[in-house]
Amino acid sequence: MPFDSHCHFEPGDDIPALLSRARAAGLSGLLAVGGSPEADAGARAAAAAAPGFAFAAFGLEPGMAADIADPRDLDARMAALEAALLGADSPDGRAPPRPIAAAIGEIGLDYSRGEDAAARARQRALFAAQLRLAARLGLPCSIHSRGAAEDTVAVLRENLSPDLVRDARAGSLHCFVGPADFAAALVPLGLSFGLSGIVTFRSADALRALVPALPRDRLLVETDSPYLAPVPLRGHPCEPAFVVHTARRVAALLGLPEPDAFALFSENARRIFVPPSPSKSIPPPRP
Ligand SMILES: [Zn+2]
């Protein structure tokens, strides 16, 4: 029963059908990840449709930094994000006693499109502000890092909550593809490794060689649906049910029986994203 630790839902998706196929595939749960107001709405709708099975992450992904040039804009965005995480933006305006979201995400750095120095600095400021908010609220993060490993580690080091680091609940480096020195820097920061369908791709020999060396209590599987469908389903729109194929491949790399590996991935995800406090309920989206 693997747990999909990073997937996306769009408001136009047939969310009940995606969730019921995920349950039918034997998933123990999933983290529905946002990253923009639109993506957050999809995550919220999925979590509202399946309490105790689908959990939500809200945040501002690195591309959103492009229109946050002024520090006052950043403060306003952080206040709006905090209200959404706490449920204080619900129709009755009353915040529940603890966050309605399970995590902040996806957030991070993406230097893969030729971002100049100013754009990179805006991304770092947005990432750092959200890590500080996560520390204040005690929430883990789902982190995106592309072409920016060194800066990702530097911003994490400065802004992660020491408590979450100590408890290895800082979150996941989603779609982790290596290399080994990036992994070595992330372990002492309390981060876990989200292995996506990429681990099944023919071209991923280096990643497959690295997986057995990662700490077992830090291994997660994910789809990043609707992207990155795993072998043998490449070319199809990806969905959370497909995480089973990725989990099987990782189990084989670890030399573990599938039920043991699936239970490991699920326990790791729940330790990070589903704290054992009274179950959270998330109100349905506003009409
Ligand atoms: Zn994603």
Domain containing residue 9: CATH number: 3.20.20.140
pLDDT (0 to 100) of residue 98: 56
H or E element at residue 142: strand 141-146
195 CA distance to ligand 1 centroid (A)? 12
171 CA distance to ligand 1 centroid (A)? 14
H or E element at residue 123: helix 117-137
Is the pTM higher than 0.85? The answer reads yes
Rounded distance between C-alpha atoms, residue 163 and residue 75, angstroms? 24
Answer yes or no: are the C-beta atoms of 279 and 51 closer than 8 Å: yes
244 CA distance to ligand 1 centroid (A)? 18
4 CA distance to ligand 1 centroid (A)? 12
234 CA distance to ligand 1 centroid (A)? 17
pLDDT (0 to 100) of residue 67: 84
Rounded distance between C-alpha atoms, residue 33 and residue 71, angstroms? 25
Count of domains observed in the chain: 1
224 CA distance to ligand 1 centroid (A)? 5
Asked if residue 282 belongs to a domain, the reply is no
92 CA distance to ligand 1 centroid (A)? 30
Instruction: Tell me the pLDDT tens digit for each residue of 74-117.
Output: 999 999 999 999 987 766 655 554 568 999 999 999 999 999 99
Asked if residue 281 belongs to a domain, the reply is no
| List of residues 6+ apart from 284 with CB closer than 8 A | 45, 48
90 CA distance to ligand 1 centroid (A)? 25
- For ligand 1, a single-atom ion, which residues have Cβ within 5 Å? 224
Asked if residue 210 belongs to a domain, the reply is yes
227 CA distance to ligand 1 centroid (A)? 8
Compute the CA torsion angle 130, 134, 136, 137 (nearest 10 deg).
130
240 CA distance to ligand 1 centroid (A)? 12
105 CA distance to ligand 1 centroid (A)? 8
Residues in the chain: 287
pLDDT (0 to 100) of residue 277: 60
Rounded distance between C-alpha atoms, residue 141 and residue 160, angstroms? 10
72 CA distance to ligand 1 centroid (A)? 27
- Judging by beta carbons within 10 Å of its beta carbon (0-12, 13-18, 19+), is residue 38 exposed, middle or buried? exposed
Backbone phi, then psi, for 97, in 5-degree steps? Answer: -70, -15
Backbone phi, then psi, for 232, in 5-degree steps? Answer: -100, 25
Asked if residue 284 belongs to a domain, the reply is no
34 CA distance to ligand 1 centroid (A)? 8
Asked if residue 115 belongs to a domain, the reply is yes
Asked if residue 287 belongs to a domain, the reply is no
Backbone phi, then psi, for 133, in 5-degree steps? Answer: -65, -40
282 CA distance to ligand 1 centroid (A)? 21
84 CA distance to ligand 1 centroid (A)? 19
Rounded distance between C-alpha atoms, residue 151 and residue 131, angstroms? 14
Locate tokens 């994000």: which residue? 81
Rounded distance between C-alpha atoms, residue 287 and residue 284, angstroms? 9
CA distances from 92 to 32, 49, 95, 183 (A): 24, 19, 9, 44
8 CA distance to ligand 1 centroid (A)? 7
35 CA distance to ligand 1 centroid (A)? 8
What are the residue ranges in the chain where pLDDT is below 70? 90-99, 275-287
175 CA distance to ligand 1 centroid (A)? 8
Residue 5's nearest CA partner among 138, 124, 169 is 169
Rounded distance between C-alpha atoms, residue 177 and residue 52, angstroms? 29
109 CA distance to ligand 1 centroid (A)? 12
Print the domain residue range for 180.
3-273
Asked if residue 280 belongs to a domain, the reply is no
